[in-house]
A and B are shown apart, each in its own frame.
Chain A
Amino acid sequence: MSDASLFSGLYQQIHEYAELLDDVLVNLKENTSSLEDKSRQELASFLLDLTNEQCEDLPVRLIALALRNNKVNLAEIADIGQALQSTEIDESDIELLEQLAQSLEQEQAGAMERMRGRSY
């Protein structure tokens, strides 16, 4: 009945993907990421699901709707998802991933604030 129940769910859903994204970003910046990396494959799949309006994974759809409300460009995200599934990752893709990581960070911090009131 309070906002806590709603935002607790969103917080939980974003947390896992935010960790995954930062893990992949570190490997990409280190040039140690390969197509076989499990985390890279998972991230690519998540990004493509985010932009797929037919995706049947409810938690992923809810994240997509939250990001769309905050003006994240989902078309660009689909491009990065595809790039992660190929060898064609360049600096601009990393920059977009960095922006997405920041958006997820803001979403998660916002969800925590709504769950608990401002926590600092």
Chain B
Amino acid sequence: MNSYFEGAIRQHLERGRQLLARVPTDLPREFHLLAQTCNRELAHILDELESLLSDPRMHLPKHQSERLRRYRRAIRQLSFLEAIGIAALERANRHDRSLNQLIEQIVNEISYPLLPPVVTALSQQYFHIYPQLGLLSVPLSEGDFLLHLPDLLHELAHPLVTERHNPRVKPFQNSLLKAIGLVLAYMAEERIKEGRRRGPSQIEFYLRQWEKSWPSWVIEFFCDLFAVYTLGPSFAWAHLHLCAKLGPNPYQVPLLRGSTHPADNARMTTILYGLENSGYSKETRDIRDRWQQLLRISGTKAEPEYRRCFPEHILKALAQIALKGITAMGCRVANPNMQDPIYSILNQAWTEFWHAPSDYAIWEKTAVKELYRLCNSRCMTESERDYTEQHSKHC
């Protein structure tokens, strides 16, 4: 395979160099960190590919497995950077800039312990984040509306899970570890009980699928809880909104293979425990009522497997454990008397929505403008104003 590697690696080296040349140099300040990350990663990939060609050991038959793995890793990373990081840089525009100013304000407002991610409106898969690039992706027009913006807070929690060195996130990670320990202990107990009962073997199989899935579910529950503790009721409403529009069976439990996201009803139950813990009793009741109405009209019911997979005492415990981690990390926890600007606008949006649903779309247009005006006035320094003015004249 030496000949293959000779040709293919040289071609990918060329591709990597071309990508490096495509990183724009006149980017707005918010994109500088992403550009640096992409440059650094591309340089690392180019070094790795060079080494696969020039290191004489890599030509020996005994190292071909390592060579193939290293080659694949480099190409995967290159393709990832091209499709995600460089693409976001190439299409950075004014709209992205508003979203970035918003995320900067959110991060300040909640005392987020890490640097804010860069936001791009390039998503084809709802909201998601790439912690290794510090890049948060949202659907193209989502920034023009308010009702789903609370989901930004859920995404902000993912890098808290993957951060390896920053000690500020340690309390959150310790809480998450504790929660994983708790649920795995519960699953182990259930398996022992099932073994004693000598019940159907399929139950034992289900329990294994749930046990496999729970670590991912705990992460998702913690991201939900981070969002609801830092933003309050608007996140719970956003979850209801998403489930009403796109949700599968809210009591769905994986039976044949593991899953990445817990059942929506379990998520809402946990979110509402979190909301209650923050002192939002009335809001918790209101959201629970609406959620029950949604469940009723969706015609779905919980099966016994659901209750066994997502027992209430575990969900309640998750909400308590997460709160300790978030508080110990120094994040600002929302409360009903809070007046912080982003918190106020995003929660006000849902109040308006329920107060006058038919007028909401008109109200929202003005509110969105007000939100970005507020973020812009807080973010923009004199020098950036000059840059924008010059740039718009030039255009």
Which residues does A use to contact B, with CB under 8 Å?
1-9, 11-13, 15, 18-19, 22, 25-26, 29-30, 56-59, 61-62, 65-66, 69, 98, 101-102, 105, 108-109, 112, 114-116, 119
Contacts and interface: CB of A to CB of B under 8 A. Distances in A.
Contacts of B245: none
Nearest to B148: A1
B129 A8 contact: yes
B166 to A, nearest CB: 12
A58 B161 contact: yes
Contacts of B219: 6, 9
Interface stretch (B70-78, B339-347, B380-388): B70-78
B258 interface: yes
B242 interface: yes
A12 B162 contact: yes
DSSP majority for the B interface? helix
Contacts, number: 114
A62 B215 contact: yes
A10 B223 CA distance: 15
B177 A18 contact: no
A65 B176 CA distance: 14
19 contacts: A1-B128, A6-B158, A6-B216, A9-B131, A9-B158, A12-B131, A19-B73, A26-B57, A56-B177, A59-B164, A61-B177, A101-B65, A101-B69, A105-B73, A112-B76, A112-B80, A114-B260, A116-B83, A119-B80
B153 to A, nearest CB: 11
B234 interface: no
A29 B61 CA distance: 11
B267 to A, nearest CB: 10
Q: Is the interface of A mostly helix, strand, loop or mixed?
A: helix
Contact of A119 (B65, B79, B128, B137): B79
Contacts of A105: 69, 72-73
Given A12-B132, A13-B162, A56-B177, A2 B127 contact: yes
Interface in B155-169: 155, 158-159, 161-162, 164
A94 B171 CA distance: 37
A90 to B, nearest CB: 16
Given A15-B73, A101-B66, A115-B80, 6 more contacts: A1-B242, A25-B66, A58-B176, A62-B161, A101-B69, A108-B76
A61 B173 CA distance: 11
Contacts of B174: 56, 58
Interface in B91-133: 125-132
Contacts of B162: 8-9, 12-13, 59
B73 A26 contact: no
A1 B155 contact: yes
A109 B154 contact: no
B125 A15 contact: no
Nearest to A70: B212
Contacts of B76: 108-109, 112, 119
Contact of A2 (B69, B128, B164, B215): B128
B131 A58 contact: no
B62 interface: yes
